[in-house]
């Protein structure tokens, strides 16, 4: 075993010595975009509402308007759409597209649970994107069931190129990407969501109001 792994180890130590001096480091960093971010375009104006009444402190923008959509531009190499899934009484979802491509139907509720999701869940994502500006668009999914679209959190990954001209480190990992870091500190995946019946009633009340006003 030792003799067969020796050539590999030699190669590894050769590269750990050489690579940091000739290759730039690509650091992938997730950027978290809150639903109140001014970069998100909500249309039609006024049909989206902020819900900040969740007991946990989570927030989202939601709408029951079938003409509604929201769009966000970002420059990066991956993007994630995260929501705290809505409960069984509130069917929720949307059609998500990237750069005007085909829209994908995305479920944003859990028919088996009578409370809001306890944590963020990635309900849609796209990876391996070119490091250019992309536009995400979420719009109404007309499936005869949905009552809402929820826009909770968008996360995108930037490819932060940094110079690595100093060859001081002999760590093999010095030539690898620095995955796992994040610029976000205010949000995390472990926020406990306590079922809030008041926000359910509030949503249904607003939906009924909107239907009455049609």
Ligand X SMILES: *[C@@H]1O[C@H](CO)[C@@H](O)[C@H](O)[C@H]1NC(C)=O
Task: Give Cα 9 distance to the centre of its chain.
Answer: 39
| Interface stretch with ligand X, choices 11-19, 109-117, 175-183, 193-201 (CB under 6 A) | 175-183
| Interface stretch with ligand X, choices 84-92, 142-150, 156-164, 166-174 (CB under 6 A) | 156-164
Q: Is the dihedral of CA 198, 187, 128, 121 positive or negative?
A: negative
CB of 62 to ligand X, least distance (A): 17
Q: Give me the count of residues in the chain.
A: 214
CB of 29 to ligand X, least distance (A): 5
Residue of 149, 159, 16 whose CA lies nearest to 81 = 149
Contact 65, 207 (CB under 8 A): no
Q: Which parts of 46-65 interact with ligand X (CB under 6 A)?
A: 57
Whose structure tokens read 């946990």? 56
Query: Which residues, other chains included, contact 181 with Cβ-Cβ below 8 Å and sequence gap of 6+?
Result: 27, 29, 30
Q: Which of 63, 137, 153, 196 binds ligand X (CB under 6 A)?
A: 137
Token output for 65? 């308007």
Q: Which of 48, 54, 69, 74 binds ligand X (CB under 6 A)?
A: 69
CB of 90 to ligand X, least distance (A): 22
List contacts with ligand X (CB under 6 A).
26, 28-30, 41, 57, 69, 71-73, 75, 80, 122, 127-128, 131, 135, 137, 139, 155, 157, 159-162, 179-180, 182-183, 188, 190-191
């Amino acid at each position: 075993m030792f003799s067969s792994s020796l050539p590999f180890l030699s190669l590894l130590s050769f590269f750990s010595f050489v690579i940091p001096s000739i290759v730039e480091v690509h650091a992938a960093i997730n950027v978290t975009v809150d639903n109140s971010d001014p970069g998100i375009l909500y249309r039609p104006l006024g049909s989206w509402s902020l819900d900040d009444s969740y007991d946990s402190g989570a927030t989202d923008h939601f709408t029951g308007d079938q003409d509604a959509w929201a769009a966000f531009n970002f420059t990066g190499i991956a993007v994630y759409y995260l929501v705290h899934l809505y409960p069984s009484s509130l069917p929720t979802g949307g059609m998500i597209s990237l750069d005007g491509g085909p829209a994908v139907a995305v479920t944003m509720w859990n028919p088996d649970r009578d409370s809001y999701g306890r944590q963020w869940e990635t309900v849609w994502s796209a990876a391996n994107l070119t490091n250019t500006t992309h536009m995400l668009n979420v719009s109404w999914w007309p499936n005869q069931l949905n009552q809402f679209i929820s826009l909770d959190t968008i996360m995108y990954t930037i490819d932060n190129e940094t110079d690595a001209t100093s060859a001081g480190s002999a760590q093999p990992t010095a030539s690898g990407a620095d995955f796992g870091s994040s610029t976000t500190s205010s949000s995390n995946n472990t926020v406990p969501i306590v079922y809030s019946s008041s926000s359910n009633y509030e949503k249904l009340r607003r939906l009924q109001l909107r239907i009455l006003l049609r």
